[in-house]
Amino acid sequence: MYKPDRNSQNTFRELREKDAWRLVEKIYLKYKHKWAGPDIDVYIFPAAAGGLFSRKAGKSGVSFKNMLFLFLTPDLDEKELEALFVHEYHHSCRINSQRKSLEEYTLLDSIILEGLAEHSVEMYVGKEYRGKWCTLYSNEEIRHLWEKVLKDHLKMRKEERLHQKLLYGESPYPELLGYAVGYEIIREYREKKSFSTKLSFIAPSEYFVKPTLFKLDI
């Protein structure tokens, strides 16, 4: 998160010099029109160095129903910025389209949310702009992690600590576990069924799992 120290002040000045706010507004208006997306507030802060969920060069984001936060570094690359924004704005679009609050989200909902967002990056920005979690594990490893680690906890709500540990892959669980599994589920779904951005907003989480080899007991 943003901390008002000398480094962050310098980063803020460089972001302003590179017109980061104009770039983000251009990307926001592009996808708001393309996806018929919701009106949301977008906030930009200087990024801390690195981090588990960072994309290239330390950029990261956080999304909610009516707003999203982007944590940026001065070395702005417009395609990388677009990839970050697409991922986060897809979250906001899906959250707005689902008939449940964020507090009601289960671990399965969160896994599918992340998988759908990263496939949107792949579709609209390019495969080379995906997050690192998309290639961390083999298909066999992901299938094993689903069966042995995730499958019995899919109903767990967001407020439960284990939900976050499994989704983010905090110790002792594999790094970015839920993100990686979510990407693989949607990849397999897209191989078997028709897929559209509109569908990725409105369909329930279970809809994307049932045609795949990932088995549900819920």
Instruction: Tell me the pairing of strands 60-63 and 41-46.
Output: unpaired
The answer to whether residues 125 and 86 touch, using CB atoms and an 8 Å cutoff, is yes
Q: How many CB atoms lie within 10 A of CB 144?
A: 12
Omega within 30 of 0 (cis) for the link into 172? yes
Q: So what's the pLDDT on residue 82?
A: 96
Question: What order of strands is seen across the sheet that includes strand 60-63?
Answer: 41-46, 67-72, 60-63
Q: So what's the pLDDT on residue 51?
A: 46
57-80 as b/e: b if 16+ CB within 10 A: ebbbbebebeebbbbbbbebeeeb
- pTM for this prediction: 0.91
Q: What is the mean pLDDT of each run of 10 residues along the chain (218 residues)?
A: 64 87 97 98 81 56 94 89 97 95 94 98 96 95 96 95 96 96 98 96 97 86
Q: So what's the pLDDT on residue 197?
A: 97
Q: So what's the pLDDT on residue 56?
A: 54
DSSP structural state of residue 91: H
Q: So what's the pLDDT on residue 6?
A: 65
